[in-house]
Amino acid sequence: MGRRHRSVHKLLVAIAAACLTLPPLRTAAFILSKQTWQTSLRRRLWLTQATLGSALLPVSTHAEEQVEQVKRLAVVETYPPFGSLVPLTGVFSLAQSAAKLTDPDDLPSMSKRFGKLSNDDLDAYRFVCTQYIGLIRYADPDEKVIGYDKAGRFKACDDAIAAVGRARDLLKKSDAKDKAKKKDLKAFQKEVSAIGVNLAGFFALIPQGDFVKALSLAQKLRSMDADKNNQLSEEEVTTVRSGMKPLSQDDADIVAALRKLGAGRLLVP
């Protein structure tokens, strides 16, 4: 194994180890694709530069060699508030639910949830990622390390959202025949795996407490979806049903801020 491949392998192992700090996933389906990670690196670096609007790194023909030179994580001074992570943890929960499916006949239930996500919604998720990453304050003296840190975070998020789109499109094309449905389920679970592993990598690089808070609020918002239409109305947020506690003022403020940001449709994926 060459020096380049050893370095890439070590980086992938480090990401996998970081993911172990997250709550255990309910399936072993979340498997990282090393080939996809390598072949899309240059394209993702360019996309991150354009999206974050900052001079991260030059996209050179030696992008893979540059990765080898980055042997540590960037030093972060402060992270943004956890509120903007709520929509992303909702997608993570969606992937966990989808990963439990073993019967092709259950695909229609997932089709309803994935099918409501438009391309504009997927772009809104990317915007949420971009905003969060852009608000991270670094205390690292090495701009190259900071650049790769930002690029890596955005790539994980972007790859996850791209997989959401592919999973949605697969469900739209799902065939009613038994053999075809089994094939559809296998293809669907492959995309669910990509969603899970990329978001796990993204969340492994943020404060664990923020992840837990965001996931808890996302799950509470889903429980408030009284009519189960995968949308959260203002009435559902403000109405306290029997056996449920109202949102705290801080949580209500987060929901209001996300709505103002245009992410209201993303509260219950």
- 199-209, pLDDT tens digit by residue? 999 999 999 99
For residues 119-141, average pLDDT: 93
Would you state the pLDDT for residue 243?
62
Band of pLDDT at residue 178, cut at 50, 70 and 90: low
In the chain, how many domains are there?
A: 1
Bridge partner list, 137: 78
- What domain range is 90 assigned to? 3-266
Q: Which two tokens stand for residue 99?
A: 């990963």
pLDDT above 50: residue 217: yes
Does the pLDDT of residue 110 top 80, yes or no? yes
Q: How would you label 62-99 residue by residue, b for 16+ Cβ within 10 Å and e otherwise?
A: ebbebbeebeeebebeeebebbbbbbbbbbbbbbbebb
Give the pLDDT confidence score for residue 6 in this predicted structure: 47
Give the confidence band of 58 by pLDDT, cuts at 50, 70, 90. very low
Answer yes or no: is pLDDT of 150 > 70.
Answer: yes
Average pLDDT over residues 148-169: 95
Which residues sit opposite 138 in a β-bridge? 76
Tell me the whole-structure pTM to 2 decimals: 0.69
66 has pLDDT over 60: no
